[in-house]
Amino acid sequence: MLIIPLDQRLTLARFPWVTALLILVNVIVYFGFQARDESAFRNAADHYRRSGLVELEWPSLMTHLAQRDSSERVAQLSQLREPQRSRVAVELQAFDAEFAERLARFPPVAKGDSDALAQWRGQRQQLQIMIEQAVTPRHVLLFHQPSAARLFTSMFLHGDAGHLFGNMLFLALLGLMTEAALGPWLFLGIYLFAGLGGGMVSVLRHVGDYGSLLGASGAIAGLMGACCVVWGMRKIRVFYWFLVIFDYTRVPAIMLLPAWLGWELWQMATSPGAGIAFDAHAGGIICGALATFLVRHLGWERREVLDAHTQAKATVDLHAALRSALGKLEFAQARELSERLVKQFPNEREAWRLRLRAWRDRPLDPAWHDASKRLLFDRLTPAAGPDEDIAVYDGYLAANGAQIQLSCDELASLGARWLQAGRLAASERIVFRLLDEPEPAESARRLALRLALAWHEANDAGAFQRVAGRLYARCPDSSEAARLQRLMQ
């Protein structure tokens, strides 16, 4: 089962800086420090094999493991051959300091042979120096030797690149949802508290066991709990995947808490040998949720962010509902929704676009004319380009023909705007319509003069003759016609 919240967009105004910093730290630790482990283990294994230590110490290692591990695992290790045997022996010792202590008490060579004993101790010391070059064993959380320092440092270690990538992906998504709602410092505090709490739960569950824990998943699971609680009953958009079913849906955030926690508990009970710290995940979720309940009780969450998000979602829902009604050709409902939309967002261009579409089946209604005129003349956001203007005008003209409700001055301003944008052909259609009036206005004549000169500058003699000829024919005694004639002479 996979449930991922995908409800917030990444913006500079609310950029999750702490989340980004945590991701950066984890990446630096893995590629900058843990990357040395492979080289350290390889060199130590080569030394272990060449020096003959593996032959001396392997029986002691198997005896040591048999005292605290399953016989089946010991039997599997006993079947290993070189070079796998030396590599496995080195890695086992790197995470188990007790084996070195055992060897110090019970050397694998006869105590009476001082030369052999000295040689073994020298080689053993050299091996320990090589093993200590590895970073992970020195900072991972050991169940049989827990410490507060390792409880903290283990949160920034990862087993491999895939482990790192998966954790950082979830950290980015959950951080984007949660950091803005909590604020950077509360977010960081809950992250660390959940990581430490999840690690403690895992340690308590494995008391007496020999094993280790590493990874940021406990802290990230804490963000799951925090996300559920801080958003509460507010609906958030999530992607879910279960078996072959996957989709997006919007649910109250708090409903994800039992789903996430129940999944981790069920996995912990049914998959004990999976090698995944489901107990740390469950502990992290609980710690993150409890800490965030306290934050909400104290009123420390960022209510303005949560409320703004709710209002924005209501806006998106209104747009989506209107688009859905238009898609289903339910124009009556679409008209009612468009009325609400333009009242709420009177300066939004998309709202008026949808309003125009909602009234497209009634082009004689005043609402159709009003929407068209607003799209053509109002200062809406975002601003429209000339091509959209032309498309709106053509649609308006096609629907209403001679009954368009635009004055000569409004038409002239449209033609002038398109002329300035270089849309000469579209401007020409406006000019001809204006010159066909019984008494062409001064604004129409001036526009015709400007258009004729623009066609002349564009070296289009035919277009120049069309516009100049129409101006001469309709307004032969006008000052614009006389000026055009002087300019051409």
**Across 167-181, average pLDDT:** 94
Gyration radius of the chain over CA positions: 38
Categorize the per-residue pLDDT at 155 as very low, low, confident or very high, splitting at 50, 70 and 90.
very high
CA angle centred on 205, ends 204 and 210, rounded to 5°: 90
pLDDT of residue 216: 95
Alpha helices by DSSP H, listed for 9-69, are 17-28, 36-50, 53-66
User: According to the model, what pLDDT value does residue 70 have?
Assistant: 64
Per the DSSP assignment, residues forming a β-bridge with 212 are 142
pTM attached to this predicted model: 0.65
Residue 70 tokens read as 């399953």
Residue ranges per structural domain of the chain: 2-15+150-301, 35-94+96-139, 407-489
Q: What is the pLDDT of residue 117?
A: 85
- Cα–chain center distance at 146: 35
What would the mean pLDDT of 296-315 be, rounded to a whole number? 77
Element containing residue 461 per DSSP (H, E): helix 461-474
Question: What size, in residues, is the chain?
Answer: 489
Local structure of residue 348 (DSSP, 8 states)? B
On the 0-12 / 13-18 / 19+ scale of CB atoms within 10 A, 314 is exposed
Phi, psi (rounded to 5 degrees) for 295: -60, -45
What's the CATH number for 407-489? Answer: 1.25.40
- Per CATH, 2-15+150-301 and 407-489 having the same topology is answered no
Angle at 181 between CA 175 and CA 186, to 5 degrees: 75
- Once rounded to an integer, what is the mean pLDDT over residues 75-83? 85
Cα 113 to chain centroid, rounded? 65
Q: State pLDDT tens for residues 210-221.
A: 888 999 999 999
* Longest pairwise C-alpha distance within the chain: 130
| 3-state SS class at 381 | strand
Name which of 237, 255, 239, 258 is nearest 247 in CA terms: 239
Phi, psi of 104 (to 5 degrees): -65, -35
Helix (H, G, I), strand (E, B) or coil at 245: strand
Mean pLDDT of the chain: 88
The CATH architecture annotation of domain 2-15+150-301 reads Up-down Bundle (1.20)
pLDDT tops 60 at residue 366:
yes
| Predicted confidence (pLDDT) at residue 445 exceeds the cutoff of 60 | yes
Q: Could you tell me the two tokens for 282?
A: 């469950």
